[in-house]
Structure 1
C-alpha cells in the first residue's frame, strides 16, 4: 500500500550487514539477506551495506550484481566500519577465526559458515569469545543451514515428541560426485591449509551436526577411515566452479585432504551411528541422507527429495499393510512453511539460507541464543578431529568425551 500523503511511516530498526566472501556461498547468503524480510516478519530490516572480496575488481562486480551498497578488498573494513552491525563470514576455513574474533571484539554480531574453524583450538577460541560477547547482547551463529530444511525440522519434532521411542540407530550419508573426474582442478577445497579437511569437513560436518541436533545426543566415540583416491590434480591460475575441468596440459599439484570418509560412532544415550561422506560417488549430485530408527518408529530423509519426510509408526495394529508413510512437508503447520506458498508447492535449497537469516535476526531482536551456537559448532569440530585421529591411528576408536571434560 502506498504511503498516504501527510502521514509518515514508522521507522524500523536496521541491521546493517557486511558479507565477507562473494563466491558460491556468498551468493546464497546475499539472496537470503534480500529475501528474508520480504517473507518473514522480522524485528529488524537487514541492510546490505558492504561486500568484501580479495580481488577488488571481482568484489566491486559482485557487490553490484548481488545488491550490496559498497565493497572492499580488506575484511578489516567490515569489522571497523560504524555502519556495520553484523559480519557474515563466507570465506575458506583458514580465515574464520581471525575475522570472527575481530568482529566479536568490535561488538558485531557474527554469522560464520561451517565448519567453524580448521582446528579445535581455533574453534575453542571462537566459542569462548562468543560466550563473552553474549554478555553484551552480541549474537554469534554457525551456518549449518540444513537444520532449516522443513522436513528435517519436522523430524526433530517427532523425536522430541517421542514418536520414535528410544533411538537405536543413526545412519547418515552425504554423497557427491564433483571430484570423480581426475582432471577436476585443484581448488582451495583440496588444500588442507585453507580448508582444514576435505570431504569430512565440507559435507561430513553437515551429517554430524544434523545427527546430533536431530537426536539431541552427542557422539562420544568414533572409529574411522579416510581415503584420498586422486592424490594430484591440475593447478589453475583462475579457479573454476564445482564440477569444472582443467586443460589436459595443466601442471599438477598435490591433494592434501580426504576424498572420502567413513566411520562408525557411539552416541551418548547408546545409539549406534554409521556415517559416510564422499565427493566421488559417481552419479550422486547432492544426496544428503539420514535415517533414525527407534524402538517404536523411524524417520528417513533424502535432500534430493527435500520436501518429503518418510515416517514409520510401529505402534499401530499389525494389519499386513505397514510401511513408511511419505509426508509432503508443505503444509502451513509444518516448520517455516506458513511463510511460503500454498500447500503442495515445494521450496528449494536457497530457502534454507532465508530461514537461517530469519532465525538469526529474530534471535538478535529478542536477545535470545541463536542455534547452532559457536559452542554447538565447536562440538562438531571435536568430532571431526576425533575422526581424523582415529583414521590416522588405524587401530583404535577415539573417545571424544575426554576432550569435553
Structure 2
C-alpha cells in the first residue's frame, strides 16, 4: 500500500483536518507555526493540522509571516478569525492582556483553544477562562495552556522517573531561569516591561515556566511562598516601530518600567519538600539558562535547558565508592516523544517542544479528553504568581497559595 494521498486543501485522505487559526505572528507565533507545520509530518496523528489563517494588526507584516511560515490566509482582526467557519482551533500567541478576551470569544464560538503562558494577567481573568473552558468541555471542546518545557524529552523522562519512585520522597527543589537581554539600560521600553500588557516582568515571563515545570516534575502543587522582587532600571527609552518584546529600536524620550526585573522566592510543597526559585532577565552572560534540580531520599535529578538533550541522575542506592551523577543522553526511541525522530545520539532543539505540544493537543482533541496542562493548571500557576507578588509587597511574609 502507498502513502495516503494529499487532498487539495492539504489534508490527508482518511484523516479529518484540524484547521488552526493563530493570533499573533512574532516570536511565539513563529515557534507555534513550526509546531503546527511539522507535527503531522513526524507523528502519526489522528487529525491533520492545517494552517488555515494567521492574524495580526499590520496587514503587510502578517502577510509576510503567513508566506514565511506556511499559513493559507490572513486576517487583521482576531474577532473575524474567531468567527470563521474554516477554523476549528484558535491558537493565542499575543501579549497577556488580550489572552482572556480572545480565549473567551473563541470558546463561545465553539473553537478549541491553545493559549500561551502565562494564562492571563490576573487571577480573575484566569478564573473566567477556566469557567468558560469547563463549560466548553461539556460541548466537546478542549483548552490547553502552552507550557512547552513539559515537552522537552528530558523533562518528560524526569517526570516519569519521579513518578516511578526513583528519587523516593523529595526533600529539595531548586529552580532558576536566567536571561540577560535587559542588562543594557538603553534597551527600549517594550510591552514586556509594561504591567498593563505583560501582567508582570521576569516573574510572569520566566517564573511562570519554572513554577509549572517544578510542579509537573514533583507531581504536587505549591502550598505557599515567601518572595522578593526588584526593578533595577526604572526608566527606559521609548520604542519606535513594531517590537517582539525581545528586540526593538529606541527613540527620543523615556517611559517608566512598571514590572519586576527579578523575582526570588522560597516555597513549600504539601509533602514537606522545600523549593527555591529565581527568575531574572539581568543575569549577565546567561541567555536561556533554565535549570532545575530535585533531591530525594533515594536519588537526585538535574536538568539544564541549555543542554536539553541531557538529564543528570544520581542513584543514591548505589555503593558510595561507585556512586555519582551520571549523564543520561535522552535520545533513545523509548524516551518520551523520541520514537518518531532520529537515531540515538541525534539531539533535538527548542523548536521541537512546540511540535510535541501540537502532537499532544491533537491527540487530546481526537480522544475528547482534557489536555495537560489545562486552563485549570494555568490558573493555579497564576495563583502562585499572585502570591509571590503579595509576599514581596509585604516584606516577604509567607503567603499561602489560594485554592
| Fold shared, TM-score > 0.5 on shorter chain | yes
- Summarize the Cα distance change of 1:358–1:2 in structure 2 as closer, same or farther, 3 Å threshold: closer
Match of residue 338 from structure 1: 339
Match of residue 55 from structure 2: 52
Trace 1:112-191 onto structure 2 (pairs within 5 A): 112-191=115-194
Stretches (4+) displaced over 3 A: 1-4, 239-247
- Per-residue displacement from partner, 1:335-389 (whole Å, max 9, x unpaired)? 0011110000000000000000000001101111100000001000000000000
Look up the SS of the partner of 1:169 in the other structure.
strand
Please, which of 293, 311, 314 is the counterpart of residue 312 of structure 1?
314
**Quick check: 1:330–1:345 contact (8 Å CA) kept in 2?**
yes
**Quick check: 2:36–2:51 contact (8 Å CA) kept in 1?**
yes
Look up the SS of the partner of 2:192 in the other structure.
helix
Look up the SS of the partner of 2:239 in the other structure.
coil
**Quick check: 2:190–2:248 contact (8 Å CA) kept in 1?**
no
**1:11 Cα shift?**
3.1
Distance 1:151 1:108 in 2: 32
Match of residue 223 from structure 1: 226
**1:246 Cα shift?**
4.5
Match of residue 355 from structure 2: 354
Distance 2:230 2:3 in 1: 60
**Quick check: 1:262–1:277 contact (8 Å CA) kept in 2?**
yes
**1:10 Cα shift?**
3.8
**Quick check: 1:183–1:245 contact (8 Å CA) kept in 2?**
no
**1:3 Cα shift?**
7.5
**1:2 Cα shift?**
7.0
- Per-residue displacement from partner, 1:88-146 (whole Å, max 9, x unpaired)? 00000000000000111111000000000000000000011111111111010000000
Structure 2 residues without counterparts, runs of 5 or longer: 6-11
Look up the SS of the partner of 1:250 in the other structure.
strand
- Summarize the Cα distance change of 1:14–1:266 in structure 2 as closer, same or farther, 3 Å threshold: same
Match of residue 299 from structure 2: 297
**1:244 Cα shift?**
4.2
Trace 1:104-115 onto structure 2 (pairs within 5 A): 104-115=107-118
Match of residue 8 from structure 2: none
Distance 1:290 1:278 in 2: 15
**Quick check: 2:4–2:13 contact (8 Å CA) kept in 1?**
no
TM-score (norm 2): 0.96
**1:241 Cα shift?**
5.1
Match of residue 385 from structure 1: 386
Distance 2:99 2:85 in 1: 21
**1:78 Cα shift?**
1.7
**Quick check: 2:168–2:298 contact (8 Å CA) kept in 1?**
yes
Distance 2:252 2:258 in 1: 18
Structure 1 residues without counterparts, runs of 5 or longer: none
Look up the SS of the partner of 1:184 in the other structure.
coil
Distance 2:176 2:64 in 1: 37
Match of residue 232 from structure 1: 235
Match of residue 78 from structure 2: 75
Distance 1:368 1:22 in 2: 28
Please, which of 42, 46, 51 is the counterpart of residue 43 of structure 1?
46
Distance 1:215 1:327 in 2: 19
Match of residue 324 from structure 1: 325
Match of residue 278 from structure 2: 276
- Summarize the Cα distance change of 1:3–1:150 in structure 2 as closer, same or farther, 3 Å threshold: closer
Distance 2:3 2:116 in 1: 38
Alignment root-mean-square deviation, CA: 1.4
- Summarize the Cα distance change of 1:93–1:242 in structure 2 as closer, same or farther, 3 Å threshold: closer
Is the counterpart of residue 214 in structure 1 residue 217 in structure 2? yes
**1:240 Cα shift?**
4.4
**1:61 Cα shift?**
1.6
Match of residue 369 from structure 2: 368
Trace 1:190-205 onto structure 2 (pairs within 5 A): 190-205=193-208
TM-score (norm 1): 0.95
